[in-house]
Amino acid sequence: MIQDNATAGGVVPMFDAEQTVGATLAGIRRRTYQVLDIVVVDDESTDGSASIVTACAEKDQRILFYLRTRRG
């Protein structure tokens, strides 16, 4: 049973996930936790997935978006 003040956090690693990231975030956002942090880490996607996450983050302040630059 989830308590009324339950908190949760999740990290979503992403690379070229344009086909799936919208549904993934929608599923996570439906959780009933009072406090929910969703961190999406993009590994330099080359498709439109970053735009999808940016649009979701503009609508939902619980989504934090980070672009990871490759170092090798």
Question: What is the model's pLDDT at position 65?
Answer: 97
Amino acid at position 17, single letter: A
Name the residue with higher pLDDT: 47 or 69: 47
Query: pLDDT digits over 42-64, tens only?
Result: 999 999 999 999 999 999 999 99
Contacts of 28 (CB under 8 A, 6+ apart): 10, 12, 36, 38
Give me the chain's average pLDDT, please. 89
User: At residue 2, does pLDDT exceed 60?
Assistant: no
Cα–Cα distance, 21 to 6 (Å, whole number): 25
